[in-house]
Amino acid sequence: MESAAWVIIDIVVTLSVAIAMLTFFARRNSYRIAVCVAIYTVVYLALLILNHKYSNIAFIAVDILRYVTIFWIVATVTVYRSDLKIFMSKIARKQKVKYGDYATTDEQLLISATEIVKACQNMAKNDVGALIIIAPTEIPPHILDTGTTMDATISSGLLESIFSTKGPLHDGAVVVLGDRIISAGCFLPLSQEVTLAKDLGTRHRAAIGITEESDVFAIVVSEETGIISVVQSGTIKRYMTPEKLLEEIKVIYRISSQPARKRKKKGTKKDK
């Protein structure tokens, strides 16, 4: 009876870990790894039951698979350490920066959108790479933790200076909320999607990765080709013209037909 109880506990723990790993890999679109985890779990449980039913006939195989399980867990933590950081950040429940803290008018948002488009156009012409993250409602704290706080009004000149190769923050992402640049030099988790085009670089993978896990909008300017792309919910649209890019940003900003209308949000903060 005592042996049977331990087998049941082992099965419950194994299934719990397997379900957690399957959910994680499925959300990361790592379906091949998820299938491997599923097959491994079935084999392990089959050997565990066989081992108990026929008096330790497969105890060596079970012990080996237990060590393999430890290896799987360590490998997952090592490869997906950025995701683990995000998970711990959510557990810590750090306060998010919300749109209400930077409420503004549609007219100001339209000016900001125009400045972003202008900066992207100039950087594309000069082969300067850029990654701009626009948060429609709020910014997850783990994004801001990796960057340098700025809290500055959006302007094309400021964006271009941030992404200048001579600047210290050009390799990271700029985070925008409302008409403000909240942070710069932020490092984002890369997408693990294996079907992405080979010509998509680190910035594109970072843009896809952050939009897969957060409700944000990303703009990428390719340093190699000058192509402007936008990413939302893990889906990338390339070859953005200035007109198309402006329309995409206006949709994200939810700019209405009345540009002077004040957006009513609680807890607003005046610009310094």
Q: What is the pLDDT of residue 262?
A: 46
Let me know the angle formed at the C-alpha of 60 by 57 and 62, rounded to the nearest 5 degrees. 90
Range 45-67 burial, b when 16+ CB lie within 10 A, else e:
bebbeebbeeeeebeeebeebee
Q: What is the pLDDT of residue 122?
A: 96
Q: Three-class SS string for the chain?
A: CHHHHHHHHHHHHHHHHHHHHHHHHHHCCCHHHHHHHHHHHHHHHHHHHHHHHCCCCCHHHHHHHHHHHHHHHHHHHHHCHHHHHHHHHHHHCCCCEEHHHHCCEHHHHHHHHHHHHHHHHHHHHCCCCEEEEECCCEECHHHHCCCEEEEEECCHHHHHHHCCCCCCCCCCEEEEECCEEEEEEECCCCCCCCCCCCCCCHHHHHHHHHHHHCCCEEEEECCCCCCEEEEECCEEECCCCHHHHHHHHHHHHCCCCCCCCECCCCCCCCCC
Q: Structural domains in the chain?
A: 2-79 (no CATH), 97-253 (3.40.1700.10)
β-pairing, 138-139 vs 97-98, is antiparallel
What CA–CA distance (Å, rounded) separates 174 from 144? 10
- Which residues are registered as beta bridge partners of 232? 217, 235
pTM equals 0.66
Task: Kindly give the confidence (pLDDT) of every residue in the chain, 272 residues in length, as a single tens digit, with 9 standing for 90 and above.
Answer: 446 777 788 888 888 888 888 887 777 667 788 888 899 889 888 888 887 777 766 677 777 887 888 887 788 777 777 666 666 655 554 555 554 555 578 889 999 999 999 999 999 999 999 999 998 877 777 778 788 989 899 999 999 999 998 888 888 999 999 889 999 999 888 887 767 887 788 999 999 988 988 889 999 999 999 999 999 988 999 999 999 999 999 999 988 654 444 444 444 444 43
Q: What is the pLDDT of residue 48?
A: 81
Q: What is the pLDDT of residue 56?
A: 67
Q: What is the pLDDT of residue 96?
A: 53
